[in-house]
Chain A
Amino acid sequence: MEKPEQLIVDGKRLDGRAPEELRPIKIVAGALGRADGSAYIEMGNNKVIAAVYGPREMHPRHEAQPDFAVLRCRYTMAPFSVEERKRPGPDRRSIEISKVIREALQPALFLELYPRAVIDVFIEVLQADAGTRTAGINAAAVALADAGIPMRDLVSAVAVGKVDNTIVIDLMKAEDQWGTTDMPVAMMPRKKAITLLQMDGHFTEEEFKRALDLAMRGCEQIYEAQRRALKEKYAVGGTE
């Protein structure tokens, strides 16, 4: 793909979205039969599966903690998920993303309820179009709730950034690549507590405030989609 002249034309982005418009979201809770809890998410062209196992006995045993459960996350990208074949297996990037996802999910869980145990979260990116870590967090939160693991709140995540000097939400591939800033944000939507905030690029203080505010509003919308997915599977008669 070649760099387009402009990423924003007449206030519209390359895919026709407004700057503060999310890509279409589809979430399915309990998409897998074998996992204790699972979810499938599509955020635009991102397709991600999350599977949760546990709480179960920790192997290797010496990594178990005597007074709380360990949360273990593994983010992986399928070889066919990107334009050029990605070499399978963990790499520097996916190890780092696994770590930040773990830290984004951890505050939402009551890990002290399951001493010596481990909760495994597997996030598989089937198709990537920028923002896979946020899509992974959204799917993992639904999968954890689907597994019946006690939680303080769900976790919703979205990226904001700066493209052609405009603050935009939910960046796609071209914007991520040629934009000036990318800032993924995850939060517990009911608690309004941020659990992940990374930034690649620069914002002025003013821009940062606006971007963060936009991200938090985006998380609310994603939370609604997560809520709908869980309701669809578990609420009888759709009452709330």
Chain B
Amino acid sequence: MEVKTGDFVLPGDFLATAEEFVPGEGAYEENGNIYSSTVGMVLVDIRTKKISVFPKTKTPPTLKIGDIVIGRVEEVRDQFLTVSIAALVGNENRELPPPRLALIHISKVQAGFVKDLSKLFKPGDIIKAKVLNAQPELIQLTTIGRELGVLVAFCSRCRSPLDREGNKLRCPSCGSVETRKLSVHYRQEVAK
């Protein structure tokens, strides 16, 4: 029985032999045969000899280059900061599987030279960023762009949320003034 593009398959369904095709997304190879690992529709690519299954179910979120994520700043170092990713924008209802620790290099924080990274981010800030590299060993993000950057910042003296005043942030309770790499959506939109 030949499997065609558009066929509905379940996990374990035979798709092709390993001599004919290579398994793509939603397929796996075992004992010289290719089987589906997903509930979905078969996609046969004759040109690249790839057979994959496009899922019809909801799937666990996976990061791709270009995805927008929301996360919390964990640590700010000289050359980079680390962020723990909380959600993938567009898939907020399902938790992102680990590893969720990502890195933003100083050169990918904003267009132009950055002298002091600690003036742009502080631990605990909630940020919006774009995925540059989605490899699980090293997830890299960028905050270059008007939409990207800090969404909510907290006063480094008293931890209360800071109010925006032009390009600066002021603490409503202790009056301290801080700077951040702000998103245009600062304290307007946390997640849709």
By a beta-carbon cutoff of 8 Å, the part of chain A in contact with chain B is: 36-37, 54-58, 64, 69, 108, 110, 114-117, 145-154, 188-191, 227, 230-231, 234-236, 239-240
Contact = CB atoms under 8 A, between A and B. Distances in A.
B71 interface: no
Contacts of A190: 12-14, 35
B10 A230 contact: yes
B30 A152 contact: yes
Given A57-B100, A115-B98, A152 B10 contact: no
Given A146-B57, A148-B38, A150-B37, A239 B8 contact: yes
A230 B39 contact: yes
Of B12, B14, B40, the most chain A CB neighbours within 10 A belong to: B12
Given A152-B12, A188-B12, A145 B60 contact: no
B8 A240 contact: yes
A20 to B, nearest CB: 25
Nearest to B7: A240
B66 interface: no
- The binding surface of chain B is classed by DSSP as loop
- The binding surface of chain A is classed by DSSP as loop
Interface of B: 6-8, 10-14, 26, 28, 30, 35, 37-40, 55-60, 94-95, 97-100, 136
Contacts of A64: 98
Contacts of A145: 10-11, 39, 57
Given A37-B57, A152-B37, A56 B12 contact: no
A154 B8 contact: no
27 contacts: A56-B95, A57-B95, A57-B100, A64-B98, A69-B97, A114-B60, A114-B98, A115-B136, A116-B99, A145-B39, A145-B57, A146-B39, A146-B57, A147-B58, A148-B38, A149-B60, A150-B28, A151-B12, A151-B37, A152-B12, A153-B11, A154-B10, A188-B12, A190-B13, A191-B12, A236-B8, A240-B8
A140 to B, nearest CB: 13
Q: List the 5 closest pairs (A to B, CB-CB), nearest first.
A: A153-B12, A148-B59, A190-B12, A151-B11, A148-B57
A152 B28 contact: yes
Contact of A234 (B8, B14, B94): B8
A239 B40 CA distance: 11
Nearest to B13: A190
Given A36-B58, A36-B94, A234 B11 contact: no
Contacts of A54: 60, 95, 97
